[in-house]
């Protein structure tokens, strides 16, 4: 059967949000219900639950080579499933693993890659995929003239929808022939409770205006009250106030949260490249002329150290 294959990305034995989003993308392609299969690697106890996302078939692979993330093995697992079902479309979340797999997979399957899509348009001209280019300065519509297509979906854009509950048919597969040239020495997990900025629904970010590493305490406080992840501008990262993995922008991460709160950040074009497509932006800045104040949906003019503690209290009060 030709059809759509979705990578069921898991983490700590749970299905990741990116998997739901990829399933939504599959649905949006408007094909018959039984056209969509998932591929699940290890965590096989989750196979049945994928039926509730509308997958009629779940290809499973397991083995020690998948215990730690290894690009070549994961790519090959997806390739084997795609070949088994003659998939014409393979969808992954544009998570760090999804991005990593998709490039190699597209090469491996002689496919065409469309990364980081944020929308799908369907009309008389057929299907076009929409994705930001040039740091979000332009949105491109892309038509595909080749199969298979490997599509990655920007996190936090495609909501998990209503799926038909289907009894998934489970089909075990195996990788027969692969020499893996990567050995994983160790995998370090981020501390528990630390949210990844790539997938967070709310991000509170600090910039040079935060003034120093101690200043990030205020950012952390607000983030905690909102169950948000912590972001930063390059100025804050380059000053050594916070690790690089928090950097948002051109040379950091691109994020699409529902709410982005920029504190003491001027809103340089390179920063905007990373957060400009957030659903809502709040800016806290003592300079009303800072570029971010003109881009924000809600701009608070004032000293962030005076505003943030009050804001945090007021949010906690509102919540209770």
Partner 1 sequence: MNIAVILKQVPDTEANVAADPTHPGKIVEDTLKFILNPYDEYAVEEALVIAEKSGGEVIGVCIGSDRAEWAIRTAMAMGIHRAVFITDPEAVESDIITQAKILASIIKTLDVSLILCGRSWIDLQEDALAPALGHFLNIAHVSNAGKIDVDCLKATVIRELDGGTLEVRVTLPAVISCSKELNEPRYPTLIAIKRSKNKEIKRVTLSDLGMTPGTPRSFVTDLQTPSSRGKGKIVTGDPADMVKEAVQWLSDEAKII
Ligand X SMILES: Cc1cc2nc3c(=O)[nH]c(=O)nc-3n(C[C@H](O)[C@H](O)[C@H](O)COP(=O)(O)OP(=O)(O)OC[C@H]3O[C@@H](n4cnc5c(N)ncnc54)[C@H](O)[C@@H]3O)c2cc1C
| Contact residues for ligand X, defined by CB under 6 A | 207-209, 233-236, 247-252, 264-266, 268, 270-271, 274, 284-287, 290, 303-305
236 binds partner 1 (CB under 8 A): no
- Choose from ligand X, partner 1, none: what does 233 bind? Cβ within 5-8 Å by kind: ligand X
Shortest gap between Cβ of 310 and ligand X (angstroms)? Answer: 13
Whole-number minimum distance, CB 313 to partner 1, in Å?
Answer: 8
Q: DSSP 3-state assignment of 270? A: helix
Residue with Cβ nearer ligand X (45 or 289) = 289
Q: Shortest Cβ distance from residue 40 to partner 1 (Å)?
A: 18
Site string for partner 1, 87-126 (x = CB under 8 A): --------xxx-xxxxxxxxxx--xxxxxx--------x-
Question: 182 contacts which partner out of ligand X, partner 1, none, CB within 5 to 8 A by kind?
Answer: partner 1
- Pairwise CA distance, residues 139 & 104, whole Å: 25
Binding to partner 1 (CB under 8 A) within 53-82 occurs at: 68-72, 75
Q: Which is nearer to ligand X, 15 or 296 (CB)?
A: 296
DSSP-assigned letter for residue 193:
T
Q: Which token pair is 90?
A: 């393979």
287 forms part of the interface with partner 1 (CB under 8 A): no
Tell which one of 233, 247, 256, 266 touches partner 1 (CB under 8 A): 247
Check if the beta carbon of residue 157 is closer than 8 Å to that of residue 104: no
b/e per residue 228-253 (b: at least 16 CB within 10 A): bbbbbbbbbbebebbeeebbbbbebb
For the bound state, the minimum distance from the C-beta of residue 164 to partner 1, rounded and expressed in Å, comes to 28
Separation between Cα atoms, residue 174 and residue 151, nearest integer Å: 24
Query: Measured from the CB atom, is 148 or 267 closer to ligand X?
Result: 267
Pull the structure tokens for residue 4. 């759509």
Footprint on residues 294-313 left by partner 1 (CB under 8 A): 294-302, 306-307, 310-311
Nearer Cβ to partner 1, position 168 or 228?
Answer: 228
Question: If you search the block for the tokens 């080579």, which residue do you land on?
Answer: 65
Which candidate, 210, 204, 209, places its Cα nearest to that of 226?
Answer: 204
The one of partner 1, ligand X, none whose footprint includes residue 235, by CB under 5 to 8 A per kind, is ligand X
| Shortest separation between residue 188's beta carbon and partner 1, angstroms | 5
Number of residues that bind partner 1 (CB under 8 A): 98
Measure the CA–CA gap between 273 and 149, rounded to whole angstroms.
Answer: 27
Query: For residues 121-140, which are near partner 1 according to CB under 8 A?
Result: 125, 128, 131-140
**C-alpha–C-alpha distance, residues 60 and 149, integer Å:** 21
Residue nearer to partner 1 on the CB measure, 39 or 168? 39
- 83 lies in the site for partner 1, by CB under 8 A: no
Write down the least CB distance from residue 34 to partner 1, Å: 27
How many angstroms separate the CA atoms of 155 and 110, rounded?
25
Q: Are 114 and 142 in contact (CB under 8 A)?
A: yes
Name which of 26, 258, 40 is nearest 163 in CA terms: 26
Nearer to partner 1, 33 or 141 (CB): 141
- The separation between the first and the last C-alpha atoms of the chain, rounded to the nearest angstrom, is 53
- The span from the CA of 17 to the CA of 13, in Å, is 13
d(CA 303, CA 155): 32
């Amino acid at each position: 059967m030709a059809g759509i294959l979705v990578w069921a990305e898991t983490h700590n034995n749970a299905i990741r949000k990116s998997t739901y989003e990829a399933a939504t993308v599959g649905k949006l392609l408007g094909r018959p219900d039984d056209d969509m299969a998932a591929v699940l690697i290890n965590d096989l106890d989750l196979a049945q639950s994928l039926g509730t996302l509308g997958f009629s078939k779940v290809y499973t692979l397991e083995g020690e080579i998948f215990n730690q993330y290894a690009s070549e093995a994961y790519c090959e697992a997806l390739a084997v499933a795609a070949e088994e079902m003659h998939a014409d479309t393979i969808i992954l979340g544009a998570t760090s693993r999804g991005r990593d797999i998709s490039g190699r997979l597209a090469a491996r399957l002689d496919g065409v890659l469309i990364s980081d899509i944020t929308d799908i348009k369907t009309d008389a001209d057929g299907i076009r995929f929409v994705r930001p280019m040039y740091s979000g300065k332009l949105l491109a519509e892309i038509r595909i003239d080749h199969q298979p297509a490997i599509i990655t979906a920007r996190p936090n854009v495609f909501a998990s929808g209503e799926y038909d509950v289907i009894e998934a048919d489970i089909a075990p597969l195996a990788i027969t022939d692969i020499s893996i040239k990567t050995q994983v020495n160790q995998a370090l997990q981020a501390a528990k409770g630390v949210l990844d900025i790539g997938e967070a629904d709310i991000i509170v970010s600090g910039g040079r205006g935060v003034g120093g590493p101690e200043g990030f305490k205020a950012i952390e406080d607000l983030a905690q009250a909102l169950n948000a992840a912590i972001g930063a501008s390059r100025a804050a990262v380059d000053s050594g106030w916070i690790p690089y993995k928090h950097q948002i922008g051109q040379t950091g991460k691109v994020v699409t949260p529902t709410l982005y709160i920029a504190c003491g950040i001027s809103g340089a074009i390179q920063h905007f490249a990373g957060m400009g497509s957030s659903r809502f932006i709040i800016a806290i800045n003592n300079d009303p002329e800072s570029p971010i104040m003109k881009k924000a949906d809600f701009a608070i003019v004032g000293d962030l150290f005076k505003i943030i503690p009050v804001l945090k209290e007021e949010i906690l009060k509102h919540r209770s």
